[in-house]
Amino acid sequence: MNTFGKFFRLTTFGESHGKAIGGIIDGCPAGLKLDFDQIQSELDRRKPGQSKIVTQRKESDTVQFLSGLLEGTTTGAPIGFMIPNENQHSKDYEHLKDVFRPSHADFTYYKKYGLRDVSGGGRSSARETANWVVGGAVAKQFLKNIEINAFVSSVGDLFLEKPYQSLDFSKIESNIVRCPDDETAEKMIQKIQEVRKAGDTIGGTVTCVIRNVPVGLGEPVFDKLHSELGRAMLSINAVKGFEYGSGFCGAKMRGSEHNDIFNPDGSTKTNLSGGIQGGISNGMDIYFRVAFKPVSTIMQKQQTINTKGESVEMQGRGRHDPCVVPRAVPIVEAMAAMVLADFVLMDRISRM
């Protein structure tokens, strides 16, 4: 249950309070020359402490590769990797030992497994997503020409109103909120700082656009390209919703408005389909939107209960994100990359 993917597979382990987290990438074909700086730079995009609007926890998140490589090229053998934990403040969690934090996984884990792994939230810690970024970074290199770009499209009720086609994706990394529109980015940053000062947190959305996808990825029935993308996104901590192409807006439309009319070359004049028809890519841009709830740990007093079922008061401590979407951007891209890598491999066996 800790394996993602069918062909390009990532199996992971680790909690934030142990010695290390890590994983095994299995199924990456032999002969792929890896750019390790690129992998580390993806981790750097996700790591804590990178800007004033994210958690101030410090982790260098340096990945070590342990196997599966010969002079930097994949051998077809499983790629084992490890990211040491440097910042294990178990004390930060001591006050939580007997308390169930509201809207966290504390209560459900305890009931499921019969024990509390308090420090850092056990496997529910978002630290796990560093493993995913490693898997995704390898997948991106495997995908070569396929371009995956995610960006922050809303923070609270502040929306980036422009169509993605008008955006310059090279600007995503130019600001700390990862929104490729300077004006909106500035407002988002202010909003997040304001929320943080109030000891509160705020939700947001991430939009992802995938270009240069070959026609034919995805399976017709249970492994539709979009159902696997949706599942991947819904695996990310704090995600509450997923829509692709016309999404929830499409549910308000009529067929005569919604149909994408073909050009003679097989491309379509519009792209409400979001690059996927019948579960299979049609060569147009794939785009989707992911909704993230506000982080549950707030720096305000809240009523809650302890393990004995007694009502107690608690207040968040430690270093937490006031808004997850800026750091979620590389995670969304990583999960998308692993899904696509899986389907690229899967497609190799669809014809004689």
Smallest separation (angstroms) from a second copy to the CB of 56: 17
Q: How far is the CB of 190 from a second copy (least distance, A)?
A: 15
The distance of closest approach from Cβ of residue 162 to a second copy in the complex, given in angstroms and rounded to an integer, is 18
End-to-end alpha-carbon separation of the chain, Å?
32
Smaller CB distance to a second copy: residue 165 or 252?
252
Q: Smallest distance from the beta carbon of 165 to a second copy, in angstroms?
A: 19
Closer Cβ to a second copy, 172 or 284, answer by number: 284
Rg of the chain on CA atoms, in Å:
21
Least distance in Å: CB of 170 to a second copy?
26
Six token digits for residue 115: 């024990």
The Cα–Cα gap between 212 and 13 comes to: 33
Q: How far is the CB of 39 from a second copy (least distance, A)?
A: 17
The token duo for 186 is 């500035």
Tokens in use for 11? 């199996």
- Least distance in angstroms from the C-beta of 303 to a second copy: 6
Helix 325-347 to helix 225-234 angle, to the nearest 10 degrees? 150
Cβ 177 to a second copy, closest distance in Å?
Answer: 15
Tell me the C-alpha distance between 115 and 190, whole Å. 40
Q: Tell me, what DSSP letter sits at residue 262? A: B
CB of 348 to a second copy, least distance (A): 5
Nearer of residues 41 and 90 to a second copy, judged by Cβ: 90
DSSP annotation of 95 reads: G
Answer whether 267's CB lies under 8 Å from 211's CB: no
Judged by beta carbon, residue 14 or residue 170, the one nearer a second copy is: 14
Nearer to a second copy, 136 or 274 (CB): 274
67 vs 174, which CB is nearer to a second copy? Answer: 67
Query: Dihedral sign, CA of 257, 258, 261, 267?
Result: positive
Beta carbon nearer to a second copy, 174 or 300: 300
Q: Identify which of residues 279 and 318 has a Cβ nearer to a second copy in the complex.
A: 279
Contact predicate 143/326, CB 8 Å: no
Q: Are 225 and 281 contacting, i.e. CB atoms less than 8 angstroms apart?
A: yes
Kindly list the distances between the CA atom of residue 351 and the CA atoms of 2, 214, 216, 225, 339, in Å, as whole numbers in the listed order.
30, 15, 11, 18, 20
Phi–psi pair at 92, nearest 5 degrees: -55, -20
Closest to a second copy by CB, 174 vs 262, is 262
Instruction: Return the half-sphere exposure (C-beta side, CA atoms, 13 A cut-off) of residue 129.
Output: 26
Cα separation, 182 vs 177, whole angstroms: 10
Q: How far apart are CA 81 and CA 135, in angstroms?
A: 10
Amino acid found at 134: V
Give CA–CA dist 92/120, Å, rounded. 8
